[in-house]
Structure 1
Amino acid sequence: METKKPKLDIEKPVVAKAFDVLVIALFAAALVYLVLQWDQLPDRIPAHFGAGGEVDRYGSRMELLLLPIIGVVMWVGMWMLEKYPHAYNYLNLRPDNVEIQYRYGVLFMNVTKNISTLLFVFLIWQTTDIALSRIDSLNMPIFITILVLLFGSMGVYFYKVMKL
């Protein structure tokens, strides 16, 4: 039977707070951009992209509203999880490493939350520009960079945890 994990008050690092502010500002800018462009959007907008970034399905412009909705729900959900690192599952959690594991967990959740939200910022911006015929396809170097940052940060987290 598993023993109960201690609840520690882990302060969010200053860099994580700054990352939150930056990402919230970028997300707000993407929403403002979407609102300003809304009346110019055609009825059919890109709704799905192939592996090369080309549009492979079109849908109603109302589908574009799913991106900010999902982005907000994910950000808020991960923000709530970030506050409760004792609720996570850990490998090798011991009394001598609980605090560092929780610190890693808080930082991991913050980075995952914010990079995931940056992905939504990117998709809102790119989908809007493709719908308005400003560009032809997703900017794949930026898209791949965001994915590398997301999955790379996960890899760094798991590497650090395994070293404990």
Structure 2
Amino acid sequence: MNLSNPKVKVPATKWELLFHFLSLVVMLSTIVYAIYQYESLPDRIPTYFNAQGEADGWGSKSSIFILPVITALTFILLYFLTKAPHIFNLPVTITEDNAPRIYSLARTMMAVFNFEIVLILSYATWSTIQATRGESTLGVGFILFTIFVPLITMILFIIKMNRSG
């Protein structure tokens, strides 16, 4: 935690608000979908998949709600963390002059990360339900997406912050 950064109030950008809204829509849609599909699920569902997308861990059908709960908790945590960019470990030196620009970028970056996490976990929930029907949708592609999309997002925002700093 960087306590030496100036504490400057920065309003949410339209992009930050959009990504928070999209996160909520995806998250709530996933929860509704899981509730809707619950009765049709078998008593035992896959809970873990190997790199080939094959189920190799099993649990009760109520475990379908574990990922949506983790998604909601993560969203809430990151949503509130986004509001305190002065505590972030940012790649540029923060001054009173550049703080509004850099904090605005940092807040937007966190909203994008939050959206990506919601997408990843929601897709995993949807894929678990599909796997109960014999359709394997998780595998190496999902693993690569989970690693590289947030990494690319971080790199792009770091470049933008360095140019704005």
| TM-score range for the pair, normalised by the shorter chain length | 0.7 to 0.9
- Per the alignment, residue 77 of structure 1 pairs with 77
Say whether the 8 Å CA contact 1:42–1:132 is kept in structure 2.
no
Post-superposition CA distance 1:128-150 (Å, at most 9, x none):
111233x1342764664454322
Say whether the 8 Å CA contact 1:41–1:61 is kept in structure 2.
yes
Q: Look up the equivalent residue of 1:104 and give its one-letter code.
A: L
In structure 1, distance between residues paired with 2:149 and 2:4: 33
Q: CA RMSD in A?
A: 2.2
* TM-score between the two structures when normalised by the length of structure 1: 0.85
Question: SS at the partner of 2:9?
Answer: coil
Q: Look up the equivalent residue of 1:156 and give its one-letter code.
A: L
How big is the shift at 1:64?
Answer: 2.1
Q: Look up the equivalent residue of 1:160 and give its one-letter code.
A: K
Q: Which residues of structure 1 form unaligned runs of 5+?
A: none
Question: SS at the partner of 2:129?
Answer: helix
In structure 2, distance between residues paired with 1:150 and 1:132: 30
In structure 2, distance between residues paired with 1:61 and 1:150: 30
How big is the shift at 1:115?
Answer: 0.8
In structure 1, distance between residues paired with 2:6 and 2:16: 23
Q: Percentage identity across aligned positions?
A: 24
In structure 2, distance between residues paired with 1:32 and 1:139: 25
How big is the shift at 1:47?
Answer: 0.9
**Per chain length, whose mean CA-contact separation is higher, i.e. which structure has more relative contact order (CA < 8 Å, sep 6+)?**
2
Summarize the Cα distance change of 1:148–1:3 in structure 2 as closer, same or farther, 3 Å threshold.
closer
Q: Look up the equivalent residue of 1:100 and give its one-letter code.
A: R
* 1:48-67 → structure 2 map (5 Å cutoff): 48-67=48-67
Question: SS at the partner of 1:40?
Answer: coil
- Per the alignment, residue 32 of structure 2 pairs with 32
Question: SS at the partner of 2:11?
Answer: coil
In structure 2, distance between residues paired with 1:140 and 1:104: 31
Post-superposition CA distance 1:74-97 (Å, at most 9, x none):
000000011111122234223332
Question: SS at the partner of 2:39?
Answer: helix
Summarize the Cα distance change of 1:4–1:140 in structure 2 as closer, same or farther, 3 Å threshold.
closer
Post-superposition CA distance 1:17-44 (Å, at most 9, x none):
1222222112211111111110111121
Matched, 1:124 2:125: yes
- Per the alignment, residue 44 of structure 2 pairs with 44
Question: SS at the partner of 1:68?
Answer: helix
